[in-house]
Amino acid sequence: MSISSPGKLVIGTSSRALFDLGESHQVYQEEGLEAYSRYQIDREDEPLSPGEAFPLVKKLLNINENLVDGRVIEIVLLSRNSADTGLRVFNSVEHYGLAVSRAAFCGGDNPWKYISAFGCHLFLSNEASDVKNALDNGVAAATLVSSTSKEGNGEQVRFAFDGDAVIFSDEAEKVYKNEGLDAFSASEKASAKTPLSGGPFKPFLSALHQIQKYSSNHSVAPIRTALVTARAAPAHERVIRTLRAWDIRIDESIFLGGMDKSDFLKAYGADVFFDDQQIHCDSASEHIATGHVPYGVANQ
């Protein structure tokens, strides 16, 4: 049966993002593949501890349980493990009651090659090279930055996004980097009625929007979105007109004019935040799960 249908959201996650494989990964680094395989097989009935992506995945899968009119969220496991060493991962999935049935165990090879085949809208990983490959192949992807945050309150899943080089292309950010803030503001004011090109997360945001429309008859929307950007007036207008031209709704838009994003992300109650700049990710990750998007001029 096809997993692609109107309102379906498919998210791929690596095993190291879903579960804490730090200890076993250290065995691999210090003692090699054979020792790592023995370590995992000997402990395959010991559940792994949750990883950075676990709270988000659990809340997303809970959406399926709370909707009476269809299963709209699909989580796919994409792992560098072999099937042998991956058995501990699947046993952990079962232990925590996660409704994850599709997986690719790639035996040390790059799992990103199966992202499109599974129809994933988003890929979450701890491997920066896999994330970069996914982005280069047109799939929204982020490297999860370690966070001590736990599962947020409530059943609603709250996504937060930076704008330039995440939702939008980096065309405006290039002006800022090369010519400064005044040139950026002037350029954006002059181009206010010209929509920005889409960035790597535009398709994912569109898929979220479809879920929101699909579940619009529910009293509480299962997913909420926010744009949290360093932009300020007069650079706000082009963003608003761009989203309008795309026919995509953002629930909340916060224009910070260069202020630190962390307090606003906490106030919003974000379950995860995506940004292209490592410095913003490091700050936000002290409070919430954060995904670094290695895309655009800031990452060159």
**How many CA atoms, within 13 angstroms, populate the side-chain half-sphere of residue 297?**
12
Query: What are the φ and ψ backbone dihedral angles of 34, each rounded to 5 degrees?
Result: -65, -45
- The one catalytic residue among 42, 69, 162, 164: 162
- The tokens 């991962």 sit on which residue? 89
282 is catalytic: no
Residue 180: Cβ-neighbour burial (10 angstroms; 0-12, 13-18, 19+): exposed
| Whole-angstrom distance, CA of residue 198 vs CA of residue 296 | 12
Residue identified by tokens 């307090």 is: 263
8 A C-beta contact, residue 61 and residue 277: no
269, 158 Cβ separation under 8 angstroms: yes
**Is the separation of the CB atoms in 22 and 144 below 8 Å?**
no
Q: Give catalytic residue positions.
A: 162
